[in-house]
């Protein structure tokens, strides 16, 4: 009997406790069968410790709905069969799903099932899981597991749209759900520096968003595209993509969307060396943010991500790219003072940029101290690791024989980072 490390990792990605996972599974069982599940914390404990190596089919289907993964992907092993599929188990699964969706197959007749009726409750269930993906991204970011799960959930939303009976409004909402998940898969790939994959995700996400008619998710996808091209150091493409987002009607109606569009434009202009364009965009972003009402209902991805701290973080990126290190440091300190406690990855990114801004002003000791203070686990994040590598190279260029360079060299030797 061995611990189920795969399931534990998936739970950690979503930040789920034993009790919270039990509640999610029971909710999914209720959606599938019409009756609440009876999974307890003890049940989850048995899964994690390996005492239960192959849960009943309804538990596996509910776990699949929560995580977007099959039983073997979640670390479960069918006794005596390893991870190999088995015909008898497939029959049990089909029998359960047939009963759960209320379909009946006549003996001796073709297996033609009436389509399941899809409604707003299914859309709400998907939206809840989208919120989970957003929360996981804020805690970890860039992980392949987040990207894979988001892509699987996008497929699930499409499957409902293609095989269920639904109104046109619900179908559009399902396209929007699928586009939302693909936008998160795209961002996870960007954050993990898997840029070719991110470009493929963008194509699919943009197509799904267009079919949904959801302007908010279209904004997110094209705004992400602007960030993707910025990371690829293609400022003209980045400006063009971000302009698609900024010119959407929702950016004209809602100043919070407008503010994010201007702030990301500032970061892109930093690559072009246009100081006036950066200042103008930062100013417009601030004016729009000051006008944005706090009581308005916004998409979870926007409300959970964009605020004054993020505006200052994007301004920091812009001024750092321009080589205006004093302005960059000012925005860094302001962002760090406003960041929400759970946004540890964002804090690590901001500190890595702050260290570079301090180094750019010749403040070697504070710069090295700031860089070394980033927790080891966060320093292994692909974006942060890249920033710290560039910081080390800049330090060697500025003061190759200084004690600060020697200290940094020893620190990196003792704390070799591995990709997150």
| The Cα angle at residue 150 between residues 251 and 227, in degrees rounded to 5 | 40
d(CA 313, CA 311): 5
Mean pLDDT is highest, among 72-86, 131-145, 196-210, for 196-210
pTM score of the predicted model: 0.73
pLDDT confidence band for 273 (50 / 70 / 90): very high
Cβ–Cβ < 8 Å for 135, 14: yes
How does pLDDT run across 14-62, given as a tens digit for each residue? 777 888 888 888 877 776 676 778 999 999 999 999 899 999 988 988 8
d(CA 367, CA 371): 6
Residue identified by tokens 């090295």 is 368
How does pLDDT run across 99-131, given as a tens digit for each residue? 444 443 333 444 444 567 788 888 888 888 888
Q: Among 316, 310, 344, which residue's Cα sits nearest to residue 138?
A: 344
Q: What share of the chain is helix, strand, coil (3-state, %, to 5)?
A: 75, 0, 25
| In 15-79, alpha helices (H) | 18-33, 41-49, 57-67
Tell me if residue 414 falls in helix, strand or coil. helix
In sequence order, the β-bridge partners of residue 165 are: 117
The pair of structure tokens assigned to 135 is 């929360």
pLDDT confidence band for 322 (50 / 70 / 90): very high
pLDDT for the residue numbered 103: 43
The domain ranges of the chain are 5-81+92-100, 119-213, 232-340, 343-420
How does pLDDT run across 166-210, given as a tens digit for each residue? 888 888 999 999 999 999 999 999 998 999 999 999 999 999 999
Cβ–Cβ < 8 Å for 264, 314: yes
How does pLDDT run across 343-380, given as a tens digit for each residue? 888 999 999 999 999 999 999 999 999 999 999 888 98
Element (H, E) at 94: helix 87-100
Regarding predicted confidence, which is higher, 232 or 70? 232
Cβ–Cβ < 8 Å for 300, 134: yes
DSSP E strands, 58-199 = none
Mean pLDDT is highest, among 59-73, 78-92, 129-143, for 59-73
């Amino acid at each position: 009997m061995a611990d189920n490390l795969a399931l534990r990792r998936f739970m950690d990605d979503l930040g789920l406790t034993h009790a919270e996972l039990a509640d999610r599974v029971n909710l999914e069982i209720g959606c599938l069968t019409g009756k609440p599940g009876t999974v307890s914390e003890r049940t989850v404990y048995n899964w994690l410790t390996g005492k239960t190596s192959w849960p009943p089919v309804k538990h596996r289907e509910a776990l699949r709905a929560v995580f977007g993964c099959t039983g073997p992907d979640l670390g479960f092993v069918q006794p005596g069969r390893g991870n190999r599929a088995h015909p008898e188990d497939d029959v049990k699964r089909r029998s359960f799903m047939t009963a759960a969706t209320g379909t009946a197959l006549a003996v001796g007749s073709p297996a033609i099932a009436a389509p399941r009726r899809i409604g707003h409750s299914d859309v709400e269930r998907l939206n809840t899981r989208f919120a989970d993906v957003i929360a996981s991204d804020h805690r970890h970011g860039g992980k392949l597991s987040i990207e894979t799960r988001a892509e699987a959930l996008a497929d699930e939303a499409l499957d409902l749209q293609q095989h269920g009976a639904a109104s046109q409004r619900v179908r559009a909402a399902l396209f929007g759900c699928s586009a939302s998940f693909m936008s998160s898969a795209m961002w996870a790939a960007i954050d993990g520096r898997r840029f070719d994959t991110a470009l493929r995700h963008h194509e699919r996400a943009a197509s799904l968003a267009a079919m949904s008619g959801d302007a908010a998710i279209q904004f997110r996808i094209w705004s992400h595209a602007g960030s993707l091209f910025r990371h690829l150091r293609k400022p003209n493409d980045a400006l063009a993509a971000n302009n698609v987002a900024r010119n959407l009607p929702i950016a004209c109606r809602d100043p919070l969307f407008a503010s994010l569009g201007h702030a990301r434009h500032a970061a892109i202009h930093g690559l072009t060396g246009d100081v006036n364009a950066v200042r103008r965009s930062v100013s417009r972003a601030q004016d729009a943010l000051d006008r944005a009402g706090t009581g308005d209902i916004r998409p979870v991805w926007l409300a959970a991500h964009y605020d004054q701290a993020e505006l200052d973080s994007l301004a920091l990126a812009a001024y750092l790219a321009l080589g205006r290190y004093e302005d960059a440091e000012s925005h860094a300190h302001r962002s760090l003072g406003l960041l929400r406690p759970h946004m540890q990855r964002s804090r690590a990114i901001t500190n890595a940029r702050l260290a570079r801004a301090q180094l750019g002003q010749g403040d070697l000791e504070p710069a090295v101290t700031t860089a070394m203070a980033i927790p080891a686990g966060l320093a292994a994040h692909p974006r942060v690791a890249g920033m710290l590598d560039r910081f080390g190279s800049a330090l060697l260029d500025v003061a190759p024989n200084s004690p600060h360079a020697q200290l940094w060299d020893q620190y990196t030797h003792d704390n070799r980072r591995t990709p997150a």
